[in-house]
Amino acid sequence: MFAIAIDGPAGAGKSTIAKDVSKRLGYIYVDTGALYRAVGLHMLRRGITAAEPERVEAELKNIDVTIHFQDGNQLVLLNEEDVSGLIRTPEVSMAASTFSALPSVREFLFDLQQELAAHNNVVMDGRDIGTVVLPKAQVKIFLTASPEERARRRFKDLEEAGKAISYEEVLKDVKERDYNDSHRAVSPLLPAADAVHFDNTGYTLEQSVEKILALVRAKD
Ligand code: C5P
């Protein structure tokens, strides 16, 4: 199996680029952030906070998160409910970021991610794919862009989805999640020692995809 791991901060363009690369190669695309979002949504619904790790751990036993692929798109199922749309809110983004700092949550999602890569050629994106989940991935990319560029992209997506939020709020969220993700004790956002660093500020989607495909070709 061939694995491409793409890690980086929120809004770096990981999912758009990874989706396109996966289509071009005929691989499956796994958006691991969506799994953390599904866990975050479940905890929000139950009124459980990340400050109660024992409750979180106990509640994980009541959660079944799976992903399905439909026309190349990933659907996230939370206890068989399709939550793919519901997890795309700023509230759930923040919940995913806080709950993902708990070791029990990371362990809970680890097997599912490894299992997917064991049976499929994958493009998988997240925060710790190259470092922890798929340390043997053939291609590892650490994708970044400036916080302002990332906030602009997120803002545009949210605006298009009809969500009422200002650019300043999105920028604040991006910076807060960057801080949470890179300062947590377990699986902090860090480039793998063998990852290729790619700052795609000012790149078009096509240019970014081409750059990654060139890295893949070099490994073939
Ligand atoms: O990528 P996305 O913004 O959807 O991820 C939501 C949150 O889930 C991130 O801010 C991060 O805290 C967490 N996450 C993680 N590890 C991953 C993917 C996402 O901790 N592999």
pLDDT of residue 131: 96
Q: How far is the CA of 96 from the centre of ligand 1 (A)?
A: 6
pLDDT of residue 139: 98
pLDDT of residue 69: 87
Closest residue by Cα to atom 9, ligand 1, is 97
First to last CA, the chain: 12
pLDDT of residue 157: 87
**Number of domains into which the chain is organized:** 1
Residue-wise pLDDT for 53-109, tens only, equals 999 999 999 999 999 988 778 999 999 999 999 999 989 999 999 999 999 999 999
pLDDT of residue 187: 86
Ligand 1 binding pocket mutation candidate from 14, 16, 35, 36 (most atoms within 8 A of CB): 36
Average pLDDT, the chain: 95
Atom of ligand 1 nearest to the CA of 180: 12
Q: How far is the CA of 18 from the centre of ligand 1 (A)?
A: 15
Q: How far is the CA of 15 from the centre of ligand 1 (A)?
A: 11
Tell me how far apart the alpha carbons of residues 173 and 168 are, in angstroms, rounded to a whole number.
9
Residue-wise pLDDT for 111-163, tens only, equals 999 999 999 999 999 999 999 999 999 999 999 999 999 999 889 988 998 88
Q: Where are the alpha helices (DSSP H) in 120-219?
A: 147-160, 167-183, 205-219
Which token pair is 104? 């029990």
Which secondary structure element, helix H or strand E, spans residue 55, and what is its range? helix 53-60
- Binning pLDDT at 50, 70 and 90, where does residue 26 land? very high
What does the pLDDT average to over 176-186?
90
Range of the domain at 183: 3-219
Closest residue by Cα to atom 15, ligand 1, is 127
Q: How far is the CA of 119 from the centre of ligand 1 (A)?
A: 23
Which token pair is 42? 């479940």
Q: How far is the CA of 32 from the centre of ligand 1 (A)?
A: 7
pLDDT of residue 11: 87
CATH number of the domain within which 21 lies: 3.40.50.300
Residue-wise pLDDT for 31-41, tens only, equals 999 999 999 99
User: What is the 8-class DSSP label of residue 120?
Assistant: S
Tell me how far apart the alpha carbons of residues 21 and 12 are, in angstroms, rounded to a whole number.
15
φ/ψ bin of 80: left (φ > 0), alpha (ψ from -120 to 50), beta (otherwise): left
Residue-wise pLDDT for 205-219, tens only, equals 999 999 999 999 999
pLDDT of residue 17: 96
pLDDT of residue 10: 86
pLDDT of residue 60: 98
Which token pair is 22? 């996966």
Ligand 1 binding pocket mutation candidate from 15, 29, 97 (most atoms within 8 A of CB): 97
Q: How far is the CA of 211 from the centre of ligand 1 (A)?
A: 24
Ligand 1 pocket, Cβ-based, cut-off 6 angstroms: 10, 32-33, 36-37, 93, 96-97, 100, 126-129, 177, 181
Q: How far is the CA of 106 from the centre of ligand 1 (A)?
A: 10
